[in-house]
Each structure stands twice: as C-alpha cells, then as structure tokens.
Amino acid sequence: MLLVIDIGNTNIVFGVYRKKRLLHSWRKVTDKKVILDTYVKDFSREFDFKKIRKEEICGIEISCVVPSLLPAFKRFCSYFFSINPSVVIPGKNTDIRILCDNPLEVGADRIVNAVAGYSKYGGPLIITDFGTATTFDVISIKGEYLGGVIVPGMGISAEALFERAEKLPLVKSLRPDKVVGKNTVESIRSGLFFGAIGQIKEIISRIKKEIKISPKIIFTGGYAELMKKEMKGTVVDSLLTLEGLRLIYEKNRLLG
C-alpha cells in the first residue's frame, strides 16, 4: 500500500492507496505545533477505522508547501512506518516539463495537480485549486506546465477584512441568496463569493485568449463544488492532488 500526504497551509490531506484504488482519505487542519504523539494517535485511529495495518504501507509520497513541517513529517514516517518518504521536488522528480523561469519555486502541489490533471483529462487544461490561495495552473496540449496565476483565497480575504477593519466580523464563505446584502454579514458574504466568481471568470477568460486554445477547466480544493455551480462546463476533482502523488510515486519507482 502507498501513503500519500499533501501538506498545505490550511489543511493536510492524507490518502492510502492499494495499487490504483484509494482506500481511505482524511484531512487535518494544518498546525505547526502538533507533536509526534498526536500524529501517531491520529494515524492509529484512522487505520483502525479502515482496518489498515501500518505494516502494509510500503511507500510514502509527500507534497509540501510548508517547509517548516517537512522535517517533522519525515521523522514521523521514519518512526511510525520505518520508511524514508519520497518528497516531490518540482523540476526534479515529477516527470513534467515546467516552462517557468525557476521550476524549483513552483509549489509542489501545483505540479502534482498538473501531473494528475494531464494523466486523467489530457490537455490543454486550466486547473483551479481553491486552497489558502486560489491558483490557476495552465497545462499545454503536450502536457507541459506553462505557468499560472495566484490570488488570495476567500478564506484569506475574509480574515483580512476581519483583521484590518475593526467593525467587520469574521464571515464564513458561503453562497449568498442575493447580491445585495441587507446586513453586514450578508454584504461581506456577497462580496467574497461574487467577487471570487467574477475574478475566476475573468482570469480564465484572459488565459484562454492568451494561449489561443480552448482548454478543459478542472476545479479542485475546498470551494470547488461551491464554485462549479457558477461555472458551466467545469469538472470537479476533489482528490486530484492525491492522485498526482500516487502517479509521481509510481513513475519514480519504475524509473528506479
């Protein structure tokens, strides 16, 4: 079995594969203060729930955009599984051509998504990932990573309003019933949601004009299902990153 771990700024997502089949996945809020014992307890509970034995794990692939957490996860993998995990390094072990000024600075999760997206859907693609940031990644018809766009996610925008404007409350991002809010919470919620929708449509429209070809649009991440309702013709693939980690692990294992 293969364990895949996607370490993000907001959440850490885990998945266990038997060959190509995802047996179990779960997520935890990212916390830089979590100690080793906590991960041991969490994994023991999740494995017991799905009747998975830790001895069945024979490989581990990690994608990480929080460098300060990577050493702790490497120690955990060594302690709990007696396995030295493989870590995704964009431009080095991902088997995808990255046409950027500095491939090493591209987020590992974005390259992992590109690998999975192209494998599942072909190209060209625009993959929009709704995480801490909302990212737009462009993959060519040949499977090349062309670059992308990064904007603050709705969660960050909500927190910024709360932190910088003394009278404004912290609002959870949900789809409002109307554009015109009748109170402060409704007004913020409308601005967050419809502002994001307008931003997404405009960015995707401009990408299409720039690459001069009509791509498939893939949504993934926390708000993917919510946003799909506003964007016709999109595909939601919430487990895209986990699948990309599996593919990268398998390709590297075959290459030796």
- C-beta neighbour count of 180 within 10 angstroms: 8
Strand order from edge to edge, sheet including 145-152: 145-152, 133-139, 125-130, 216-221, 234-236
Active-site residue (options: 6, 109, 137, 237): 109
Q: Annotated catalytic, 177?
A: no
Q: Is the separation of the CB atoms in 173 and 183 below 8 Å?
A: no
Query: DSSP string spanning the chain?
Result: -EEEEEE-SSEEEEEEEETTEEEEEEEEE--TT--HHHHHHHHHHHHHHTT--GGG--EEEEEES-GGGHHHHHHHHHHHH----EE--TTTSS-S-B-SS-GGGS-HHHHHHHHHHHHHH-SSEEEEEESSEEEEEEE-TTS-EEEEEEEE-HHHHHHHHHHH-TTPPP------S-SS-SSHHHHHHHHHHHHHHHHHHHHHHHHHHHHTS--EEEEEETTHHHHHTTSTTEEE-TTHHHHHHHHHHHHHHHH-
For residue 132, which of 1, 4, 7, 42 has the smallest C-alpha distance?
7
Active-site positions? Answer: 109
